[in-house]
Amino acid sequence: MQDDQIIPFLKNLRRGRGATINPDSRFEPESRDFIYDGWTNPEDEGQKLNTSVTMERPKSIISKNMSPDLPSDRSVNAYRGCEHGCVYCYARPTHAYMNLSPGLDFESKLFAKPNAAELLAEEISRPAYVCRPIALGTNTDPYQPIERDLHITREIIEVLAAARHPFTITTKSDMVLRDLDLLAPLARDNLVSVGVSVTSLDNRLSRTMEPRASAPQKRLRAIQELSKAGIRTLVQASPIIPALNDQELEQILELAKEKGAASAIYLLLRLPREVASLFETWLSENYPDRASRVMKLVRSTRGGKDYDANFGTRMVGTGPYAALINKRFVLACRKHGFTASKYDLATDLFQKPGRDRGQMNLF
């Protein structure tokens, strides 16, 4: 195979994936490069990258954070890695802790936590536990494709529903509609809100950037069906990528409002650690005509760097371009009657699992 055949070979191997490369974990003492050995037929369809799922049994399931940028101080993730394959995903670097790549490994070598619901019931039943909303979908999507078979997210929701525990969901998948039977009754008591992330209305861009997430129209339909069911729904216009999807901000908000979304937020593109090189490589391959302009604008929002992790600005950036995006968002929210915050959920209905409902308190 000639050098100019290696790229087509790799493209065939990773067809339907977001990342274009698979760099080694930053903790690995050695690095490896792809070298074609001449044995594999580049047209062989069998060379497509398959998804593997490893079952792990963690000892705890509720993750705590102290970030002032986040509306919740706790979250539950049913999975590690995400098959949606969003090339810009800020969670990609976490796969390095599994000695795996934040590139193709992140979206093809997944981990599932089958005991998540059991652990959750145990943790929220502890005497010292204080009820506050739990966020589902902070690191990986709770409704990524493997959820269709494993149902771990649904089991988690069943535990939260039985305990009358408030929670939020963030997803790029219309699979969330599968669980309307659980979510709608909870919404009547202000125990759940759902955020649907809409990155672009352009099917081609969406398919290239987040290949296994639901198509834009399906996400808008999910907003509509959730809203019709009485579930307070938020549209998340994120990430806003300079010179790539930023021109769609107002239209995304307008269409989401028409479908019934009650609230909106936006996030500017974040490129922590390995995500910067993954995104820039993807950009150069798929949008070479604008790659340099996109990265120049990205760096203008991060003090000249690929990323700035400072609290308070890491989600929205700094500088003139970031200020312009914020102004456009504020004006669009005002025009359509959006609020710019997540919902306050009820915590006073919470009942610890395992407690005898018929036993009165002594005091």
Interval 55-63 mean pLDDT: 94
Residue 363 reports pLDDT greater than 70? no
pLDDT 10s digits, 163-209: 999 999 999 999 999 999 999 999 999 999 999 999 999 999 999 99
Greater pLDDT, 18 or 169 = 169
Strand, coil or helix: 265: strand
Going by C-alpha positions, the residue among 361, 24, 348, 353 that lies closest to residue 166 is 348
Residue 85: predicted pLDDT: 95
Domain residues for the domain of 137 are 3-263
Backbone angles phi, psi at 97, to 5 degrees: -70, -15
Taking the C-alpha atoms of residue 92 and residue 85, their distance in angstroms, rounded to an integer, is 10
Identify whether 171 is part of a domain: yes
Identify whether 183 is part of a domain: yes
Mean pLDDT computed over every residue of the chain? 89
Strand, coil or helix: 48: coil
| E strand segments, the chain | 52-55, 62-64, 74-76, 79-80, 109-112, 134-136, 167-171, 192-197, 233-240, 263-268
Residue 335: predicted pLDDT: 95
Q: Are the beta carbons of 136 and 142 closer than 8 angstroms? A: yes
Backbone angles phi, psi at 279, to 5 degrees: -70, -45
Residue 293 reports pLDDT greater than 60? yes
Identify whether 291 is part of a domain: no
Torsion of CA 99, 101, 106, 111, to 10 degrees: -10
Amino acid at 250: E
* CATH number of the domain enclosing 232: 3.20.20
Interval 104-125 mean pLDDT: 96
How many domains is the chain partitioned into structurally? 1
Q: In sequence order, what DSSP letters do the residues of 163-176 get, joined into one string?
A: TT--EEEEES-GGG
User: Of all residues in the chain, what percent carry a pLDDT higher than 90?
Assistant: 77
Identify whether 111 is part of a domain: yes
Identify whether 355 is part of a domain: no
Q: What confidence category does residue 271 fall into, taking pLDDT thresholds of 50, 70 and 90?
A: very high
Residue 4 reports pLDDT greater than 50? no
Identify whether 199 is part of a domain: yes
Q: Are the beta carbons of 228 and 260 closer than 8 angstroms? A: yes
Q: What confidence category does residue 5 fall into, taking pLDDT thresholds of 50, 70 and 90?
A: very low
Taking the C-alpha atoms of residue 110 and residue 106, their distance in angstroms, rounded to an integer, is 7
Residue 182: predicted pLDDT: 98
pLDDT 10s digits, 212-259: 999 999 999 999 999 999 999 999 999 999 999 999 999 999 999 999
pLDDT 10s digits, 246-265: 999 999 999 999 999 999 99
In this structure, how many other beta carbons lie within 10 angstroms of the beta carbon of residue 178? Answer: 16
Residue 68: predicted pLDDT: 83
What length is written for the chain?
A: 363
